[in-house]
């Protein structure tokens, strides 16, 4: 079955083509069937292929299916870039959750989009996205990954701008695409470095060369790592390129769940994990990743504290969680980073779908126009609570395990090698506190207290609640695949995910290590520490928003620090800053270039024209007066002479004879006289 | 398909449109239907006849064997002029592009051109003859003849059927290219005399008179460096104006904006490629030493064109002007690839010539479609067209994406290969070039947003009709090519790789030697 791995991305593409070619003519029922079935088939086939691969080859040996040579590059050694798909531990993990979560979000969309215009367009784009995302994760070389990479960016653009008649979605889609392109620029340069220095773009060959002789590539590996990381900061919304993701919320909510939370935005983490050998060759690159991750986590979490739009809160929390993942990758804990990608996909998708259900019911994004929904929307409530507990890091929900593993890895990294990394641990701990706080702030405002809106909220249809239930239960359970070492020892349950991803990070002499060990006592301390932090955040949210139904305390606080509140509420004015500098600068430069083009370059050309025309006028004058004058003068002289002599030519023969005779006589007389 | 080898296929292809043009001249002026039928039939037939070349061309041949379908006969012996036709893989692809775009141009003009149809179509066909002749010629005399021949019909197409400032644009176009052509002629004469008697103190080779291009490929490397430099410059002006390279590009936006749609399609699709084709066919193989000497300048001009063209495009309010300036940027990629002087760069550049013809040709068709309906191209007049013209919006999106170089579409394959080639010479070249990709996304998406997104507020746009089938059929072949080249470019690379190798072997003989003759 693994031979058919290429069908996993192909089915959704087929779905896209079928829906796309008939566009608005196909009845909605058929669109739903095709759209969901294609992804369903991918899911089934994906799982089948993974199981088949595990049974026949084991997780240590990648399986590659080459379709054909896509791009033959003529270099010293011909570099044929194939269309080929690779199944290994990392791609298997990605395929598993992308298809699974993707399928349930497709189901959910049937209900959510039921009353929307452009239903067919929506499903076509969603299927196209699945194709691109699966190509991205299944590619066996960097260039094909780039195809998927830009492909998901395109779908993101199309889906953010789904309500294209409004200004905000259209602007946001464009913004997302262009910011991503800035990142892609780095990725592309990185690919050129790889192609030039390794003579191939296939993962297996590149990494085999790097493993065989890491010393030979130490310098360039760091450059490659940093170039690729620029790409990752674009796609995964990290500092300084995170600005597009909050605006990406302009798209329909299932899109936010699928693309801007569960799958696409984690592509950067996937890429860094995939290329971990490059990063491990350069301590600088690793430090950059870790620091950017930690700062983004904190920065984004702080912006989430004061948002009033439910989707914006979730968007900032996504950026923050992605920061966590990069932090883990930066300290060398790639398996842990991927573990958080995995658990995050479930609980964040569940949160977004939950928010979609709320928006569907209340017709608003503003959390202050919701409230008291615990009673009327039971399924939405418990699934939202589950995923909130998961993201806050409460045991035994999924987020607890992965977040704890990240904190422990950072701590161990600091303990073993780099004292400065304690600072990163500190940032991560503060972020964890904030996360628990703003998520429960959201929860208490939306589900507790009295309803503050104007409509009559009701529970969503079955097609929406079923995916919520599935993902809600997922948020509870999926963390169990990655229990911490101490618990693993205590209950004799293996850390499945770490074992499974082990082939991803081979130990290589000369490259940074990827596993650290903490003493059991230290690990217990950290576990209880993180539980305490999470509970602290929840308690604060409870104290401010639940125990104080009038919200007097928080109102007093914001009144006391109006400036601070305003700055955070306006997201530190980063967007305004970018608009004034990068965006404004480019537009000014573009206008200046156009003016230069018109004025100077074309001006010169026209100037030459004027000069030529001017000269020709002058020479025309000269021609007319001098040259022609001379000619005319000559003609005049001629005429004058002619007029003069014309009188002689009377045409009368007698005259001629007379003059002739006169001449003869005169000459003769003269002759005789002088002789 | 090998039967074409027994025919003088290149001559047939070249003169068939001319014949069509003559037939139209003898038709009655009132018989518009007949004129259109002949034009469509002949240009369609030319396209069909050019297809066998794709199959019959033997892309395994090497050396001067890459030039195939040779027709050679003495023409003016006293001057050494031969009637010498023949094409390599590069010319092959450009010929196919020309016949396809010419056919599409004729077919797309049915409703756009409402006066003097007879003259219009016969000039269009005459233009096709000129373009095909340039790509087929292997003799300087013949080449120059066709080169100048193209100028005349294009001048009239802009000057008679153009927009409000048509005369200004037509004369600008004509004079600009004429200057370039004359300088090139000087270069040709210099070569001619160098080959025989010598001139201005340069000692000649004393060979028998010849204007054979392949002959000059062989003796080019031996030309003294100083002479190479000057003749390179003479040719350079001819080609740089055609491409157009910065700073000789300002005739282009004017010509495009004023030209009728078909004129723009041909201009962008084929005429601009004359310059880049000239570099590959003449400048590199005949003046290798001068090429190396002037390389930094050529690359600098290319990089400026990429970034500057994109910036200027971004500031435009007129769709046609925007696309015209984007051409400057895209052609910058092509010249960058050419002057990377390695197989990747040159192959990418050749493919990108085709890609640009497809994508930009299609963009001009698309703008022409809306212009026909609204008689304006200003973006501020539009907005919300997605709602009113959904099919139009889809085609426009596909082509815009291809122009932006989205992977799995044609533009990406070309740009990636070019940048990979440039990277091998200097990573900074590639990095600067790649930044053009960001700007490309910015101006394209911004244009798309202003035209298609938002609410349909302008009353004049409310009655707009979506694409007709005829309009769709002008676009469909181009869309198919967009994805074909994007997903499976190998057949294209196969056909040009030996021709590129031929050029690289002359301009950089060490390249293949250094890697073991591979």
Domain extents in chain A: 340-569, 588-647
Spatial neighbors of A244 by CB under 8 A, at least 6 apart, are A172, A175, A176, A179, A180, A237
Q: Are B315 and A605 within 8 A, CB to CB?
A: no
Distance CA A629, CA A262 (A): 89
Question: Would you give the DSSP letter of residue A67?
Answer: E
Window from A608-622, B118-132, B390-404 with minimum mean pLDDT: A608-622
Residues of A in contact with B449 (CB under 8 A): 170-171, 174
Residues of A in contact with B406 (CB under 8 A): 150-151, 154
- Span B51-72, mean pLDDT? 89
Tens digits of residue pLDDT in A302-327: 988 888 899 999 999 999 999 999 99
The pLDDT of residue B514 is 55
User: Which residues are B87's β-sheet partners?
Assistant: B68
Residues of B in contact with A196 (CB under 8 A): 423-424, 427
Asked if B408 has any chain A CB less than 8 Å from its own CB, the reply is yes
Element (H, E) at B52: helix B32-56
Tens digits of residue pLDDT in B460-503: 888 888 899 999 999 999 999 999 999 999 999 999 999 999 99
% of chain A surpassing 90 pLDDT: 54
User: pLDDT category, B516, cuts 50, 70, 90?
Assistant: very low
The pLDDT of residue B49 is 93
* Exposed e or buried b per residue across A216-243, where buried means at least 16 C-beta atoms within 10 angstroms of its C-beta: ebeebbbbbbbbbbbbbbbbbbbbebbb
Q: Are B446 and A23 within 8 A, CB to CB?
A: no
Tens digits of residue pLDDT in A234-277: 999 998 899 999 999 999 999 999 999 889 999 999 999 999 99
Pairing of the two strands A79-87 and A63-73: antiparallel
Total residues belonging to chain A: 675
Distance CA B201, CA A463 (A): 89
Contact A84, A333 (CB under 8 A): no
State the residue for tokens 């008697």.
B197
User: By three-state DSSP, how is residue A484 classified?
Assistant: coil
- Span B134-145, mean pLDDT? 94
Residue to substitute from A593, A596, A599, A616, interface B, most B β-carbons within 10 A: A593
Contact A156, A175 (CB under 8 A): no
Distance CA A275, CA A263 (A): 18
Report the sign of the C-alpha dihedral through residues A35, A36, A40, A41, in that order. negative
Distance CA B424, CA A320 (A): 39
Which of B250, B387, B401 comes nearest A165 by C-beta? B387
Residue A450 is encoded by which pair of tokens? Answer: 């009295």
B164, pLDDT greater than 50:
yes
Distance CA A185, CA A179 (A): 10
Residues of A in contact with B251 (CB under 8 A): 605
Tens digits of residue pLDDT in B209-244: 888 999 999 888 888 888 899 999 999 999 999 988
B518, pLDDT greater than 60:
no
Tens digits of residue pLDDT in A601-660: 888 888 888 888 888 888 878 877 787 778 788 888 888 887 877 776 777 777 777 777
A174, pLDDT greater than 60:
yes
Which of B250, B314, B445 comes nearest A601 by C-beta? B250
A529, pLDDT greater than 50:
yes
Asked if A602 has any chain B CB less than 8 Å from its own CB, the reply is yes
User: By three-state DSSP, how is residue A83 classified?
Assistant: strand
Spatial neighbors of B291 by CB under 8 A, at least 6 apart, are B232, B283, B284, B298, B339, B341, B507
- Span A173-190, mean pLDDT? 92
Of A64, A75, A58, A38, nearest to A138 by C-alpha is A64
Of B472, B456, B449, nearest to B319 by C-alpha is B449
B517, pLDDT greater than 60:
no
The pLDDT of residue A144 is 94
DSSP calls for B240-306: HHHTTPTTS-THHHHHHHHS-HHHHHHIIIIIHHHHHHHIIIIIHHH-HHHHHHHHHHHHHHHHHHH
Tens digits of residue pLDDT in A586-604: 888 888 888 888 888 888 8
% of chain B surpassing 90 pLDDT: 64
% of chain B surpassing 70 pLDDT: 98
Q: Which of residues 312 through 351 in chain B touch A, CB cutoff 8 A?
A: 312, 314-316, 343-344, 347
Distance CA A234, CA A237 (A): 5
DSSP calls for A227-271: HHHHHHHHHTT-TTSTTHHHHGGGS-HHHHHIIIIISGGGHHHHH
DSSP calls for B451-517: HHSS----GGGTT-----HHHHHHHHHHHHHHHHHHH--HHHHHHHHHHHHHHHHHH-HHHHHHTTT
Window from A456-460, A492-496, B115-119, B202-206 with minimum mean pLDDT: B202-206
Proportion of chain A in helix, strand, coil states, percent, rounded to 5: 80, 5, 20
Window from A177-191, A392-406, A610-624 with minimum mean pLDDT: A610-624
Up-side HSE of residue A332: CA atoms within 13 Å toward CB?
24
What's chain B's average pLDDT? 90
Distance CA B309, CA B335 (A): 14
Q: Are A151 and B314 within 8 A, CB to CB?
A: no
B153, pLDDT greater than 70:
yes
Spatial neighbors of B233 by CB under 8 A, at least 6 apart, are B290
Asked if B416 has any chain A CB less than 8 Å from its own CB, the reply is yes
Asked if A51 has any chain B CB less than 8 Å from its own CB, the reply is no
State the residue for tokens 């009728």.
B260
pTM: 0.90
- Span B67-90, mean pLDDT? 90
DSSP calls for B301-327: HHHHHHHHHHHHHHT-SBHHHHHHHHH
The pLDDT of residue B1 is 64
The complex's ipTM?
A: 0.90
- Span A26-53, mean pLDDT? 93
Q: Are A189 and B434 within 8 A, CB to CB?
A: yes
């Amino acid at each position: 079955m693994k031979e058919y791995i290429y069908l996993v991305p192909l089915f959704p593409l087929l779905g896209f083509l079928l829906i796309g070619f008939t566009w608005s003519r196909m009845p909605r029922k058929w669109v739903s069937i095709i759209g969901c079935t294609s992804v369903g088939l991918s899911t089934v086939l994906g799982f089948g292929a993974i199981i088949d691969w595990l049974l026949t080859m084991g997780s240590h040996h990648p399986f590659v299916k080459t379709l054909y040579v896509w791009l033959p590059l003529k270099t010293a050694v011909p570099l044929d870039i194939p269309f080929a798909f690779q199944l290994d531990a990392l791609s298997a993990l990605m395929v598993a959750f992308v298809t699974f979560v993707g399928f349930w979000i497709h189901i959910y969309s049937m209900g959510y989009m039921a009353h929307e215009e452009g239903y067919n367009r929506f499903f076509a784009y969603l299927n196209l996205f699945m194709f691109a995302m699966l190509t991205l994760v299944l590619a066996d070389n960097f260039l094909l990954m780039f195809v998927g990479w830009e492909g998901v960016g395109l779908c993101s653009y199309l889906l953010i701008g789904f309500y294209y008649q409004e200004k905000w979605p259209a602007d946001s889609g464009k913004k997302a695409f262009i910011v991503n392109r800035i990142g892609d620029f780095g990725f592309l340069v990185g690919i050129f470095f790889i192609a030039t220095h390794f003579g191939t773009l296939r993962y297996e060959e590149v990494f085999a060369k790097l493993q065989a002789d890491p010393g030979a590539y130490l310098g360039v590996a760091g450059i490659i790592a940093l170039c690729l990381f620029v790409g990752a900061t674009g796609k995964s919304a990290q500092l300084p390129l995170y600005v597009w993701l909050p605006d990406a919320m302009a798209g329909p909510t299932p899109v936010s769940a699928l693309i801007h939370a569960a799958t696409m935005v984690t592509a950067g983490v996937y890429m860094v994990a995939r290329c971990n050998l490059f990063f491990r060759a350069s301590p600088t690159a690793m430090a950059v990743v870790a620091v950017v991750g930690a700062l983004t986590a904190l920065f984004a979490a702080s912006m989430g504290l004061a948002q009033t739009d439910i989707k914006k809160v979730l968007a900032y929390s996504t950026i923050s969680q992605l920061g966590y993942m990069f932090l883990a990758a930066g300290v060398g804990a790639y398996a842990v980073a991927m573990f958080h990608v995995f658990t995050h996909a479930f609980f964040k998708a569940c949160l977004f779908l939950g928010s979609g259900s709320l928006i569907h019911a209340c017709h608003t994004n503003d959390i202050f126009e919701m409230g008291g929904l615990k009673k009327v929307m039971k399924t939405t409530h418990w699934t939202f609570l589950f995923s909130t507990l998961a993201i806050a890091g409460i045991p035994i929900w999924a987020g607890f395990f992965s977040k704890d593993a990240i904190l422990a890895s950072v701590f161990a990294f600091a303990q073993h090698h780099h004292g400065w990394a304690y600072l990163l641990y500190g940032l991560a701990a503060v972020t964890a506190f904030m996360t628990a706080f703003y998520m429960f702030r959201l929860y208490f405002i939306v589900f507790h207290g009295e309803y503050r809106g104007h409509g009559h909220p009701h529970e969503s249809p079955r097609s929406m609640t079923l995916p919520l239930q599935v993902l809600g239960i997922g948020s509870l359970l999926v963390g169990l695949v990655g229990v911490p070492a101490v618990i693993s020892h205590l209950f004799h349950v293996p850390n499945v995910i770490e074992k499974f991803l082990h082939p991803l990070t081979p130990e290589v002499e000369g490259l940074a290590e990827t596993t650290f060990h903490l003493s059991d006592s230290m690990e217990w301390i950290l576990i209880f520490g993180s539980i305490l932090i999470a509970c602290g955040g929840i308690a604060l949210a409870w104290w401010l928003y639940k125990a104080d139904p009038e919200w007097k305390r928080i109102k007093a606080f914001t009144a006391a620090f109006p400036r601070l509140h305003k700055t955070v509420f306006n997201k530190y004015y980063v967007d305004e800053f970018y608009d004034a500098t990068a965006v404004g600068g480019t537009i000014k430069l573009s206008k200046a270039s156009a003016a230069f083009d018109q004025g100077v370059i074309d001006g010169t050309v026209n100037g030459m024209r004027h000069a030529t025309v001017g000269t020709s006028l002058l020479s025309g004058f000269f021609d007319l007066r001098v040259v022609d004058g001379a000619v005319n003068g000559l003609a005049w002289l001629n005429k004058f002479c002619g007029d003069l002599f014309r009188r002689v030519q009377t045409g009368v023969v007698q005259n001629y004879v007379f003059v002739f005779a006169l001449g003869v006589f005169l000459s003769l007389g003269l002759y005789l006289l002088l002789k | 398909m090998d039967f074409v080898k027994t025919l003088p296929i290149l001559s047939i292809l070249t003169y068939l449109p001319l014949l069509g043009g003559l037939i139209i001249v003898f038709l009655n002026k009132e018989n518009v239907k007949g004129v259109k039928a002949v034009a469509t039939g002949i240009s369609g037939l030319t396209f069909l006849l050019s297809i066998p070349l794709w199959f019959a061309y033997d892309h395994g041949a090497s050396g001067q064997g890459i030039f195939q379908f040779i027709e050679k006969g003495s023409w003016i012996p006293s001057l050494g002029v031969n009637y010498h036709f023949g094409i390599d893989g590069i010319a092959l692809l450009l010929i196919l592009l020309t016949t396809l775009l010419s056919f599409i141009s004729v077919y797309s003009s049915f409703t756009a051109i409402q006066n003097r149809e007879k003259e219009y179509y016969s000039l269009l066909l005459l233009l096709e003859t000129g373009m095909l002749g340039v790509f087929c010629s292997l003799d300087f005399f013949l080449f120059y003849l066709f080169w100048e021949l193209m100028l005349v019909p294009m001048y009239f197409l802009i000057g008679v059927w153009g927009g409000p400032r048509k005369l200004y644009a037509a004369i600008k176009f004509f004079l600009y290219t004429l200057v370039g052509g004359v300088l090139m002629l000087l270069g040709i004469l210099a070569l001619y005399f160098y080959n025989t008697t010598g001139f201005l103190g340069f000692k000649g080779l004393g060979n028998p008179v010849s204007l054979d291009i392949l002959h000059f490929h062989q003796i080019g490397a031996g030309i003294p460096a100083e002479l190479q430099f000057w003749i390179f410059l003479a040719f350079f002006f001819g080609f740089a104006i055609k491409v157009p390279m910065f700073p000789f590009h300002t005739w282009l936006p004017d010509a495009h904006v004023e030209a009728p749609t078909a004129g723009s399609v041909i201009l962008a699709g084929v005429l601009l490629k004359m310059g880049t084709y000239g570099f590959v066919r003449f400048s590199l193989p005949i003046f290798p030493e001068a090429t190396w000497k002037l390389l930094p300048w050529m690359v600098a001009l290319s990089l400026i064109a990429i970034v500057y063209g994109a910036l200027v495009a971004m500031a435009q309010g007129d769709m046609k002007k925007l696309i015209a300036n984007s051409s400057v940027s895209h052609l910058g990629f092509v010249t960058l690839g050419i002057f990377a002087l390695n197989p990747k760069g040159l192959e990418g550049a050749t493919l990108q010539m085709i890609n640009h013809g497809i994508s930009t040709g299609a963009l001009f068709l698309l703008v022409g479609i809306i212009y026909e309906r609204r008689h304006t191209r200003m973006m501020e007049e539009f907005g919300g067209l997605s709602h009113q013209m959904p099919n139009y919006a889809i085609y426009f999106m596909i082509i815009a994406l291809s122009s932006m170089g989205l992977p799995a579409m044609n533009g990406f394959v070309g740009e990636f290969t070019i940048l990979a080639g440039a990277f091998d010479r200097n990573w900074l070249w590639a990095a600067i070039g790649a930044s053009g990709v960001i700007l490309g996304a910015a101006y394209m998406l911004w244009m798309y947003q202003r035209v298609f997104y938002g609410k349909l507020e302008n009353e004049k746009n409310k009655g707009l009709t979506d694409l007709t089938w005829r309009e769709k059929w002008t676009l469909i072949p181009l869309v198919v090519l967009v994805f074909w080249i994007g997903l499976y470019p190998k057949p294209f690379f196969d056909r040009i790789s030996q021709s590129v190798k031929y050029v690289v072997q002359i301009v950089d003989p060490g390249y293949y030697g250094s890697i073991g003759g591979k």
